[in-house]
Amino acid sequence: MEEKKIVLRDDFIKLGQALKAAGIAQSGVEAKFMIQDGKASVNGEVSLQRGKKLYDGDEVLCGGVRIRIEKPKLV
């Protein structure tokens, strides 16, 4: 399974935005349909909310790709 990481710029990112940022969806419309069709799960549960907020430590599975959401590491 392919793994990708999204580093947060703000406190959260929305599910649809995360799918686009990871390159799984090419557009917001494509992300919307993937989510509506139940193809995305957040922390092991299918999510049908495109606007679901993802925070540090959350994991998304969609299309054979695991996306990990992380806060930037402070040096």
Mean per-residue pLDDT over the chain, rounded: 95
Contact 26, 34 (CB under 8 A): no
Q: What is the pLDDT of residue 73?
A: 81
Q: What is the pLDDT of residue 61?
A: 98
Q: What is the pLDDT of residue 74?
A: 78
pTM reported for the whole predicted model: 0.92
Tell me the HSE value of 44 on the side-chain side, using a 13 A CA sphere: 1
The pairing of strands 2-7 and 65-70 is: parallel
- The fold of 2-70 is 3.10.290
> pLDDT tens-digit profile of 37-72?
999 999 999 999 999 999 999 999 998 999 999 998
- Residue 1 — pLDDT band, cuts 50, 70, 90? confident
